A and B are shown apart, each in its own frame.
Chain A
Amino acid sequence: MRARDLAEPFPVVTDRMDALEATRILTDQALPGLVVLDEQGAPLVVLAASEVLRFAIPDYIEEDPALAAVIPEDEADQLCRQLAGHTVAALMPALDQGRRRPVVDANATVMQIASVMSEQRSPVVAVTDGDEVLGVITVHRLLGVLLP
């Protein structure tokens, strides 16, 4: 089994898209993450759902998680307001962190796919054939076909 056989269609999200809108796609389709494409349609980065949360949380809470508890409930409920007015680009982790993109070649075996997912801790990988993105493979899909 190769990556091209497992690739599923995916919603197109670009780095210019509104952050709230992109997050809504994530929740509506119950995706574990989004493949963000650049202008040319090349995969830029795979944005895990948890990374969207990281953006919505104030930095001081990331620095000191104990502070999460002191925020009153009604304000905590408004967490996603933070996303308003930002583009997907703002949500993306810095690309210069030497982090490799979770992308696999169309010919990759499941072992390769699993290895990329595990190493990059990414719940979803993009499948590419040259410059073209064929689709995505989620961790659920992969495990689903692999389970004996």
Chain B
Amino acid sequence: MIVTAALPSVLPSVLAVAGSTTESGTSSPEGWAVGLSIAVFVGAYVLIAGEWVHRVKVSLGGAALMLLIGSATSQTAFFSEETGIDWNVIFLLLGMMVVVGITKETGLFEYIAIWSAKRARGRPYRVMVLLCLLTAVASALLDNVTTVLLFAPVTILVCSRIRVRPEPFLIAEAMASNIGGTATLIGDPPNLIIASRSGLSFNDFLVNLAPLIVILLVVFTVLIRFLFRSAFRPVTVAAATEPAADGASGSSGSSGSDSLAGSGGPASGVGTATATAAVSTEAEVMKLDERQAIRDVRLMRRCLVVLGLILLGFMLRSVTGLEPSVVALLGAGLLIVWSGSGPREFLAEVEWETLVFFAGLFVMVGSLVNIGVIDWLGEHATEAVGSHYLIAVTALLIGSAVLSGVVDNIPFVATMAPLVQGLAAQAGGAQAHALWWALALGADLGGNATAVGASANVVVIGIAARQGYPISFWRFTRYGLVVTAITVAISWPYLWIRYFLLG
């Protein structure tokens, strides 16, 4: 918020600052270079936010311009921890993508999802709660997008069995994924960036954020009872196939996702589901054989062992001295060797686009650090904040939440991290932590606010549309705003009590 709002007024003063330093004989870049760099950065931000150009193109184009202008050099972009590509973030993502890519082929996630739907005895609300909790836990350990990709198809299957519409379940899962992902260092990309900048460990995240996330998830499970109350009534089979019938005319065979549920007869002319139907939907779920989903039991065990070792490695960083990125890469390597999968298989799930996007972004933000803009902003922010850290925490939490609903939270956090670093250095102690947690909570929870607030939302809406269940921007956002407002409203007293009253 500070960045975008303050930039127009910043420009002349930064030019002046840069001009004066050049005069005094330091090697600072020319004033025009500073102005151009800021223009490139703001332009890139606008393009990413507006989604007019693909974000990978924008971040690479921006980075290229920064290198051309001279506000970044190969030295600052590739080899500097302060101003360059954060290889810890890139390699941690890469390692985890490889591990997930191998694990998802085992059928483990489908197994767990169906198993829990059966434990819920096919009751819609219980199914939703269990699927949301599963998604949240999985998101804390895996990438959010991967998690929703894994759970969305099985969710649609379960919904078709219990004869409810899948859209509310998918929306709730995307939100649970964003909430759950906030709990750990590896749960959500903004947390990776924060961890790398702040030096906060996996355990710091676990101890400071996870308790709050548990509270938020409990509240969330109660909240969805009311938000989606209409979703728990069984629908007629005919109504459930309705959107599919639309889709069938145009898109490739996107019809009748719940055909098998209606195996009692053809889809047409089935009456409203009644109490007897409720009994039969339970039977429909119980008939699924989740064990069949597991393709390779031995590989699954190995994946679980490696995932466990990786987690252990994250937690024991203070003992082993291994960075999370190194742990993830070692874990990925171990699993590659152990599973015997070839490069084509284990690299299949690596999202190169995401990694390249991050790299470009780091170079762009690093350029601003390099030419002193971030320092300048940081000084002013520090000055403005003074010793009013509670106000700073509040502003960070709410400001990040609002902006993350609109802008991709990754570039936002990448920009804010160096700023917050300055503030945190000044604050010290518990309040320094509070600043980082406010940024993480705001950025991660804010992702729920709109349909485009987080990648998980976009992916879920995409899958739903492909399957013939379109979810409109406003339909998602209507629920998203409520969930974001409530989760952020609960986060604030948590931060206040834990880091200001008690800290």
Q: A residues within 8 Å of B by Cβ? A: 51, 54-55, 58-61, 63-64, 66-67, 69-72, 75, 78, 81-82, 84-86, 89-91, 93-94, 96-97
Contact = CB atoms under 8 A, between A and B. Distances in A.
Contact of B249 (A66, A85, A90, A93): A90
| B interface bracket (residues with beta carbon within 8 Å of A) | 35 or more
Interface string B140-171: 00000000001011101100100000000000
Interface of B: 107, 110, 114, 150, 152-154, 156-157, 160, 248-260, 263, 266-268, 287-290, 292-293, 295, 463, 466-468
B255 A67 contact: no
Contact of B259 (A58, A69, A72): A58
A60 B154 contact: yes
B267 A85 contact: yes
Contacts, number: 96
A59 B260 contact: no
A67 B259 CA distance: 15
A69 B296 CA distance: 13
B468 A59 contact: yes
A61 B288 CA distance: 14
A82 B257 CA distance: 9
A70 B293 CA distance: 6
A19 B156 CA distance: 25
Contacts of A69: 107, 289, 292-293, 295
Contact of B152 (A58, A63, A75): A63
Q: Which 9 pairs between the two chains have the least Cβ-Cβ distance? A: A69-B292, A64-B153, A55-B253, A63-B153, A60-B153, A90-B248, A60-B156, A66-B107, A82-B259
A81 B154 CA distance: 21
Given A58-B256, A64-B153, A86-B255, 18 more contacts: A58-B157, A58-B258, A60-B157, A63-B153, A66-B293, A67-B154, A67-B293, A69-B293, A69-B295, A70-B114, A71-B288, A78-B263, A81-B266, A90-B249, A91-B253, A93-B252, A93-B253, A94-B251
B254 to A, nearest CB: 6
Given A55-B255, A59-B257, A94 B250 contact: yes
A58 B260 contact: yes
Nearest to B106: A66
Contacts of A89: 249
A54 B266 CA distance: 19
Contacts of B288: 70-72
7 contacts: A60-B257, A60-B467, A63-B152, A70-B290, A81-B263, A82-B256, A93-B253
B282 to A, nearest CB: 15
B300 to A, nearest CB: 12
Contacts of A75: 260, 263, 287
A58 B160 CA distance: 10
B295 A66 contact: yes
Contact of A81 (B249, B259, B289, B295): B259
A71 B248 CA distance: 23
Nearest to B155: A60
Contact of B463 (A63, A66, A70): A63
B148 to A, nearest CB: 12
A72 B157 contact: no
A67 to B, nearest CB: 6
B264 to A, nearest CB: 10
Contacts of B249: 89-90
Contacts of B254: 59
Given A58-B157, A67-B293, A70-B290, A90 B266 contact: no
A72 B467 contact: no
